[in-house]
Structures are given as C-alpha cells and as structure tokens.
Structure 1
Amino acid sequence: MKVLFIGGTGNISTASSHLALEKGIDLYHLNRGTNKTGLPGVSTIFGDINKPEELSELQNHTWDVVVNWIAFTPEDIERDIALFQGKTKQYIFISSASCYQTPLQYPVITESTPLCNNLWDYSQDKIRSEDRLMKAYRETGFPITIVRPSLTYDTVIPIAIGGFREWTTADRILKGKEIIVHGDGTSLWTVTHADDFAKGFVGLLGLTTAIGHAFHITSDEILSWNMIYKIFADALGYEARVVHIASDFICKIEPSFTGTLLADKGESVIFDNSKIKTFVPDFKATIPFSEGIRRTLKWFDENPSNKVVNEATDQKIERILKAYESL
C-alpha cells in the first residue's frame, strides 16, 4: 500500500509514521526539508503543499491513501481536492474533537454528536473543512475519511494552561510556584498517547469501509483535571501548588485562553470509541497517562532545548493569580 503523509513528523503523526512502516506500508512524506527529523524507511518528496511550483514530483504519483496532517481551512481542502481528485483511493483529513457541540447537551460524545463550536475560529475552520469534504464525497465521490483527535500527546504536555509546546507550568511546579487549574478541577477529560492513537489511525489506512465516515480516536481512560495535574506533578517529582479558578474568570482576565478553555477543555467530555473499535477491531488504548507522561518528560530531558518557558504565558498566569487573589 502506497501512502502519502503531508506532514508526518509532528507530535501525533510521528507515531503513526513509525507504525505504518512497521506494518510494511510504502510510506512517503511531503515536506519542505526544513525538519531534520526524517524517519528511516520513509521516502521523502520535497516541496511545500502551498506552493504549486514545488509540486511537480508529487504530480507524478498516484496513491492508495493521502493523509493531510496540516490542513486547517476550507481553502486548504479546495487545494487538496484539486490536487488529489482521481489520484488517490482514500483521502484522510485530520480534523479535531473540538468541533463537537460546545457546550455539550449530552456529555458522552459519539461521531453523531453535532458539530458546532462558535467560540473558536480553529474549530469553525475544521467544521467548514469537513463540510466541504462531505460535499465532495456526495457530489463527486472524492474518497474521504475524517479523523478527529482529541488531546493527543507525545512530545507535548497535555494540560490546559502553560503546557503543550511550552515548559512554563512544569517550570512553575519545579520552582514551587502556584499553578492554575481551571474550575474546581473535577470536570472530566481524556488524554491520549500518540502511540495509542496510531493503532486506530493506521488501521484506517486503505480501509474501504471507512470511506465517507468520521472517527474520533481516544483513550478510554477518563481523568479529572485534578488528577491530570497531580499525575503530571508526580512525574516531575514535585507537589503542585494548585489554585482553582473559574474558566470564565480566567478568560475575562486573559481572553487568549478562551479557545483552550471555554471552547474546549472547560467542561466534562466522555468519548465513546465504539465506532473505531468496530472498524479497527485491534484498536485498544493501553498507555495510561501515568506512564505516557513519563515518556514525554523523558523526551524533554533528552531534548532540553524544547523546555521553553514562555515569559508571556508566565506573566498571564501571574496576572490571573493576582486578579483572583484581589477578589
């Protein structure tokens, strides 16, 4: 099976690249050549997907599957439909679980949960992209599959404030500073290790019955945010000095957190993974957060240049704490 990943060396996609190679897939990456983390066994086509003049080599290929890990807008989708119509048997769009109804009217999410999130431009663009792909599937048979990851991690820290590609909250914990946990910390969430995500995702590659369908792929481990932060602090070897602050208040003081909180992590969600398990019977998430976060912290220790303390984020945290303490 000949598969193209547009992207393929990111936080989520690297694990899927490794597993695809293990499964014997003939894997190609399209990238600009600026990332030095090329994977042994992958054939690389150099080019920028946004620059047609750099895609002459790409145009010489046909594919069993094309996966775009870095498409975000309907304009990206229009470009890909033009590029790959008649050139691939399956096109997989990486959407987002943040597209689901916000706020939720029912906390258990299935793939039939409505898509509606008017609080975050990122989610709205993903929804519009899904709509355009479904229209292409219905009208021209463009062979789409949609995948909606939730908070998936490997080389990022899956917390709400001061994490992801930042070391900011980790640094605060290590220095004994206060950190913010939104709400009272009892709302429920799921974090998924990229190696677990890859098991479900790679199972969809070339799966004819998945054409026209959407899937989310998450762990079945459900944790409160209090537990997520406690497990994270324990893995660092420190006790976190947690201050619970309402999401509304946080976003009032620092509106830049609206997307990650009010539009995403501010309420409980429980993912029903029955559909991906039906289509990919071998899929089972087996990496608990207590194990996965230690792998992530080991990666940061081995790559200390990625321990980036964002001073702007740190100052925002301090402003929120000061405003809360003055109430």
Structure 2
Amino acid sequence: MKLLILGGTEFVGRAVTEAALARGWQVTVFHRGQHAAPAGASAVRGDRTDPATLAALADSTWDAVVDTWAWAPTAVRDAARLLADRAGRYVYVSTGSVYRHPAGPGHTEASPLVEGSPDADAVAYAEDKRGGELAALAAFGEDRTVLARAGLILGPWENIGRLPWWLTRIARGGPVLAPGPRDLGLQYIDVRDLAEWVLHAAETGLSGPYNLISEPGHTTMGELLECCVQVTGSDAELRWHGPEDVLAAGLTPWTELPLWLPPGELYDAIHRGDPAKAHAAGLRCRPAAETVADTWTWLRKLDGPPPLRPRQPVGLAPEKEEAFLRG
C-alpha cells in the first residue's frame, strides 16, 4: 500500500505513520516541519493552507490518504479536492464530538449531528470536524470515504497531556485527589489501536462513519489511577472523593481533573457511546494497563516535559489539591 498522511508527525498522525511503516507500506507525510517525521517515511514539506505548497502533492498517486486535521474545514476541502483523482480512499479522523448535544448513552453513527460546512473557516471544534467530514465526502463520495469518529484518545505521544498529567502527578507521590466514584467507567481508545484500525479500513475498503472507541467501561477511574501508581512505583495514596464533594469545591471536570466527568449528559456523550459497528469491522482495544505502562515508558524517555499543543492547560494546581485534601 502507498499511503499519504497529511501531518504524520504528532500523536495520531505519528501513530498511523509508524503502524504503516511496520506493515512495510510506502508512507509519505506532508507536514510543516515542526516535528521530525518518523524514520522510514518520505517527507514532503509544506503548509496545507498554502495552495502553492499543497500543489506539491499533485504529481503522485496513493492507495489511501489519512487526514487528522481539526481546524478550518476549508483545509480538508482543498486537500481532498486535489487528491480525489490521485488517491483511492480518504480516511478522515473525526471525533465523537460531531454528535449533537446531548448525545445520550448508546449514541450510534446514526445519531443527530451538529451543523457544519466544508467552506467554513475555523468556528469551533465540533463544527470544524463536521465540516471536515462533509469536505471529505464531497470530494471522495460516500463509497471512498471513512469517517473515523474517535473518542477520547490516550497513549504514547499524547500531545494534550491528560494521561501524562496523571502519571506525572502520581509519580510525585503523597496524597492524591482521586475523583470518584472509583468504579466510574471510562471509554477511550489507545492511539495505536486507532492507527491499526485506520490502516485496516484503508486496506480492506471500508467506508462510512464509525465510532472509534472502546466498549463503555473498558476501564474505570479506579483501575486507571491504580495502574498509574503501579507503573510509576510511587508511594502515592489515592484519596477517593465523590462527584458532589469535588464539584462543591469548584474543581473543574475534564480540565483540572483530566479524563474525569461526573455522571450526567457530558459523561454520557464521552464515555457511553456505542462502538459496535467499529468492533464488528475489526477494532480491537488493548488493556488499560498496557496503555498506562507504555505512556509512562515514553514519558521517561523524554529529555523534558511532553510536547503539548498550545491550549488550555490540563491538571489541578498543587495548591488547589492540597487545599481540597485539607478539607
């Protein structure tokens, strides 16, 4: 297989690149050069928002394209139009956020979607991703487009910082605020499982939308944080507190306490989707312990903090955690 990856050097794109190279595929990454391309990939330097550099892709052909773009849908539109006659299939890594709120527990690929336009400039994450979906469909058609609607993505090279924050915090040791309930189910996908499925979809000719995520309750807050304690070898003491206490203290779910959401509409949207279609089409999800251990191994190999995209920081400030635990 000849594969073109638009991006291919960070988190999801990097995982797809490395997985394709491991299969012996010919991989070309089109990127701006801010990060080194994985060894073995052919690199074409350019900015997809610049028509002059995007045109560098006009002289080749590929079996499939993988696109992880998350901003203005016009960038997907322009790339997909250029590549429609040069590639066999377009795999757009989208998001479960395209489902209209409240998505509700058990939402499927047929659930209502947010509005979006392929001709829009950047608006908001969900609308931008939906616009990207529509742009890919307009250029490649329904039979040649895969919409990989990923949920929460974890694993090595994570550039958001959610699991890395928990690992780093727990590695420091001492009392740790653990938001409960302890058996609260979590639904996510390891970036490497996402990558393997994306390549499987490209190779076998799948098309259409898929909720790319584990089964609900694939792990729990308790299991995940206990795995963090185990792999770091920390003396951390997890102190569990219920949602009522955490929210009453003014602590912010998801951002100050990464991954965690109290039961409710947002929790249902993030952690209770229906992934049956993707699992029937070959998706396999590794155990949480493996994701945690491999992410910790990656963190320990870094010379400094993990490379994060500029956005709202994640994680609870030490002084706020200490104040909460003092009660």
TM-score relative to the length of structure 1: 0.77
Alignment of 1:214 with 2:209, yes or no, is yes
The one-letter amino acid of 1:214's match is P
Q: Deviation of residue 255 (structure 1)?
A: 9.0
Alignment of 1:195 with 2:189, yes or no, is no
The one-letter amino acid of 1:195's match is R
Alignment of 1:237 with 2:233, yes or no, is yes
Tell me the distance in 2 between the aligned counterparts of 1:290 and 1:87: 41
Q: Deviation of residue 65 (structure 1)?
A: 1.3
Tell me the distance in 1 between the aligned counterparts of 2:203 and 2:218: 30
Give the match for residue 124 of structure 2.
121
TM-score relative to the length of structure 2: 0.77
Tell me the distance in 1 between the aligned counterparts of 2:76 and 2:248: 34
Give the match for residue 60 of structure 1.
59
| Residue correspondence of structure 1 range 5-154 to structure 2 within 5 A | 5-36=5-36, 38-105=37-104, 107-116=105-114, 121-134=124-137, 143-154=144-155
Decide whether the 8 Å contact of 1:2 with 1:64 is kept in 2. Answer: yes
In the TM superposition, structure 1's runs of 4+ consecutive aligned residues that sit over 6 Å from their partners are 262-265, 323-326
Tell me the distance in 2 between the aligned counterparts of 1:253 and 1:82: 45
Which secondary structure state, in structure 2, belongs to the residue aligned with residue 78 of structure 1?
Answer: helix
Instruction: Identify the range of structure 1 (173-182 vs 214-223) with the bigger mean alpha-carbon deviation.
Output: 173-182
Compared CA separation, residues 251 and 145, structure 1 to 2 (3 A): farther
The one-letter amino acid of 1:121's match is A
Tell me the distance in 1 between the aligned counterparts of 2:18 and 2:213: 19
Tell me the distance in 2 between the aligned counterparts of 1:14 and 1:104: 30
Compared CA separation, residues 292 and 227, structure 1 to 2 (3 A): same
Decide whether the 8 Å contact of 1:8 with 1:14 is kept in 2. Answer: yes
Which secondary structure state, in structure 2, belongs to the residue aligned with residue 127 of structure 1?
Answer: helix
Q: Deviation of residue 71 (structure 1)?
A: 3.6
Instruction: Decide which of 247, 250, 267 is 1:249's aligned counterpart.
Output: 247
Give the match for residue 173 of structure 1.
170
Tell me the distance in 2 between the aligned counterparts of 1:50 and 1:264: 36
Decide whether the 8 Å contact of 2:61 with 2:86 is kept in 1. Answer: yes
Q: Deviation of residue 325 (structure 1)?
A: 6.6
Tell me the distance in 2 between the aligned counterparts of 1:115 and 1:58: 32
Which secondary structure state, in structure 2, belongs to the residue aligned with residue 305 of structure 1?
Answer: coil
Tell me the distance in 2 between the aligned counterparts of 1:250 and 1:179: 18
Compared CA separation, residues 176 and 5, structure 1 to 2 (3 A): same
Q: Deviation of residue 288 (structure 1)?
A: 0.9
Give the match for residue 224 of structure 1.
220
The one-letter amino acid of 2:226's match is K
Q: Deviation of residue 203 (structure 1)?
A: 0.6
Which secondary structure state, in structure 2, belongs to the residue aligned with residue 67 of structure 1?
Answer: strand
Decide whether the 8 Å contact of 1:251 with 1:257 is kept in 2. Answer: no
Unaligned residue ranges in structure 2 (runs of 5+): 116-122
| Overall identity of the aligned pairs, in % | 21
Decide whether the 8 Å contact of 1:6 with 1:66 is kept in 2. Answer: yes
Give the match for residue 276 of structure 1.
278
Tell me the distance in 2 between the aligned counterparts of 1:320 and 1:130: 40
Q: Report how many aligned residue pairs link the two structures.
A: 312
Instruction: Identify the range of structure 1 (58-67 vs 268-277) with the bigger mean alpha-carbon deviation.
Output: 268-277
Compared CA separation, residues 250 and 45, structure 1 to 2 (3 A): farther
Q: Deviation of residue 175 (structure 1)?
A: 3.1
Tell me the distance in 1 between the aligned counterparts of 2:62 and 2:237: 49
The one-letter amino acid of 1:6's match is L
Tell me the distance in 1 between the aligned counterparts of 2:77 and 2:159: 31
The one-letter amino acid of 1:175's match is R
Compared CA separation, residues 201 and 297, structure 1 to 2 (3 A): same
Decide whether the 8 Å contact of 2:89 with 2:140 is kept in 1. Answer: no
Per-residue CA deviations over 1:103-158 (Å, capped at 9, x if unaligned) read 443x23432233359xx9322322333244445566xx793211112222222569
Give the match for residue 155 of structure 1.
156
Tell me the distance in 2 between the aligned counterparts of 1:128 and 1:80: 13
Tell me the distance in 2 between the aligned counterparts of 1:56 and 1:9: 20
Tell me the distance in 1 between the aligned counterparts of 2:55 and 2:175: 53
Compared CA separation, residues 229 and 158, structure 1 to 2 (3 A): farther
Tell me the distance in 2 between the aligned counterparts of 1:250 and 1:201: 41
